[in-house]
A and B are shown apart, each in its own frame.
Chain A
Amino acid sequence: MKMTRQEFLKALLAASAMPWVGAARAEQGSPIVVGATVPMTGPLSLTGKQYHNSLMMAEEDINKAGGINGRSLKIVFEDTQASNSTAVNAFVKLAQESKPSLFFLSSYSTQNLAVEPELKKIQVPAFYAGGADVVAEAGNEWMFRVRPADSVSAEGMVRCALNVLKAKKPCILYIQNDFGQGGARTAVERFGAAGVTVAGMGAYGQNDKDFSAQLLGLRGKDIDVLLIFNYPQDGALVLRQAKMLGLKMPLVTSSAALVPAALQLLSPADLDGVWGVVDTFIDPSVGGRMRDFVERFKAKFGSDPDPYGLAYYDGAMLAAEGLRKVGTDPKALRDWFSAVKGWQGIGHLYSYDAKGNGVFDLAVVKSKAGTKSLELVQTIKLN
């Protein structure tokens, strides 16, 4: 067979275009990859496992509902453990190997702060749940928080101490990191603004196991309420040791000590006189999407969901909506998330401000006498 010059050129053109067409088709059929850096092992996995599970559940739900405009969603996980350097390595590995369209970062502010410069370099949107205000203050326009900031939590704890417990001589115990120091600082300011002087402050290291010195030192100041800024495991240990040392004053904890993973380490007696703030009061009796989420989570993973897990589930659903509306272009996605106002998740109403804060409400709870269950005292909404 003899080929004319015109036919030869057409064939050449077609052959050279083939890989591009193939690549475009392959991309259309390939899943949209989302990266998630989560503490799956080590002490921080108490909460990390929750959002690992809820992100997997969200992935399944999104794909069951038709995926993202016909493409499936695939969440690729890397373990951050309890280490900032491991968190950075996990993030860089995902960014280089999986090239995700967006990220979910851990719920630990120190890890969020460690990863933030890397995120800025690759310019991909990321949802995170660390509460420290400094994360948002860093001004990274690619980061979006799915939980209340610590200043919101601290405000809730102070309101609980002042309005519910009528505190006159409060004191504060905090974990020594960005979260604890930031929360304690905000609480001191809020108490000061209300004309109440904080009678004492105590701190402990993240790996400390004995808090008797701090607890007894603060009790010696004749205080009437103790605010505690803690992570789950140390928070549970503080509550337990407070009871062992015979502390009688009400204790107001930050949310981590009241997640199911921490509560399973405590007895009803340990929770006697314990108050606290939680991001969301998870109550299946309200019905609707909340009940559906709680029941399915429990059936799938054999444990109750916590507010952290719920926040990430909401974040995944918000991410899916953004991906459906504007595709995977990072800038378009970032702009879409920045413009979100009044998006109704299961746990919160999400409205993002210029610093990437999206949640401004939380719940004050207390333990029911003689049980390990919590009851809602009031919800707090801040402007």
Chain B
Amino acid sequence: MAISREDVIYVAGLARLELNEQEIQDYTLQLNSILDYAAMLERLDTDGVVPTAHAVPLHNVLREDEVKPSISHDKTLRNAPDAEEGFFRVPRISLT
């Protein structure tokens, strides 16, 4: 299998997910079957095919540099789990 149990634990850690033993086993199987399915693509000859950067055949969707109104303080903080004096409040981050 391409995805090991350790890979699943590692990726779950990156995604800040806490998995129980059953979930680790389930996701290991499921992720492998997804990758096995996608591996069919490897049978195609992709020599000379430029890697796809985007699924939609568009480019250069741009806007002019013009200021638009921002939203109100009330709206900004309405969904904040915690706020104080106009700031979002988050659990303390210790860098070192």
Are A and B interaction partners? no
**Chain A interface (Cβ < 8 Å from any Cβ of B):** none
**Chain B interface (Cβ < 8 Å from any Cβ of A):** none
